[in-house]
Amino acid sequence: MTDPYTAAAASATRLAALTGRDSHDIAVVLGSGWAPAADAIGPPEAVVPLAELGGFPEPTVPGHVPAVRSVRAGSRRVLVFLGRAHLYEGHEPGTVVHGVRTAIAAGCRVIVLTNAAGGIRRGLQPGQPVLISDHVNLTGQSPVAGVPPPDGYPSRFTDLSQAYSANLRAVARAADPSLEEGVYAALVGPHYETPAEIRMLAAAGADLVGMSTALETIAARHLGAEVLGLSLVTNLAAGLSDQPLDHAEVVAAGQSAAQRMGSLLAEILPRLL
């Protein structure tokens, strides 16, 4: 992908043709096992296989579906991506954030990023949704590294002092006052962390840990979109319980909470703009 911005614009043009909608307002990226939550957000007006848009790889991870839905949530038009690409699948950062860049090229000014996460902070429990207040990017990668963006795009020196919108978090808490907030640590994976690594992350201020989201947030903020991050705690992080970590259980936890998470998103989305 020599010019990821041109590629995203081309994907957005195909998306408009296939959905019959010139633009959308909000994009939601669903994490591992969250695909059933899409039904609770609303009935799709169009479903587009990502392969028809260009630039999207075939997923290799259970719980991620290679399709995007066009949904109406109140007066908002919402793109719901039923999965995402990850660095650990062997992809470049530009590929990982292609969905976010496509959504912004399609008109989205708000990006809602969801994920399955391990809980680090004491008191967080499996099945609990947590708003992301900030992140620690430990992937060693950035979607704005490398060749500078083409003319007409913002500088690659992206300000992340407000990576996750305080205003959007306030809207989410108004919809569900029980929501807690936490700092998300992003690692490459696909292996889970060691107990020593979890102790390190806790000392660094992380409350949650996962293998996505941070690069997508950087890409969204670079292009001026606001970001709302929402983690579902699917397991306690390594060393915090006697249970072994298993991706099948992560997906199962996401699926069991999908209806609740979808209902929460359906409540939040119409309020975000």
Q: Which residues participate in catalysis according to the annotation?
A: 32, 64, 86, 88-89, 116, 211-212, 235, 247
**Tokens 């700092």 belong to residue:** 183
Q: Which of these, 83, 97, 71, 77, lies nearest to 26 by C-alpha position?
A: 77
CB contact at 8 A, 109 and 118: no
Output the CA–CA distances (angstroms, integers) from residue 248 to 90, 113, 164, 212, 245, in the order listed. Answer: 21, 21, 29, 17, 9
Can you read off the two tokens belonging to residue 57? 């790889």
Taken in order 262, 250, 180, 80, is the CA torsion positive or negative? negative
What gap in Å lies between CA 213 and CA 207, rounded to an integer? 15
Contact between residue 166 and residue 172 where contact means Cβ atoms under 8 Å apart: no
Tokens 């002092």, located at residue: 161
The string over 73-89, giving b where at least 16 C-beta atoms fall within 10 Å of a residue's C-beta and e elsewhere, is beebbbbbbbbbbbbbb
Residue 57 CA to residue 134 CA, distance in Å, equals 28
**Both tokens assigned to 33:** 């096992």
Phi, psi values for residue 260, rounded to 5°: -65, -45
- What are the CA-CA distances from residue 190 to residues 14, 47, 72, 125 (Å)? 32, 29, 34, 22
Q: Which two tokens stand for residue 94?
A: 């530009």
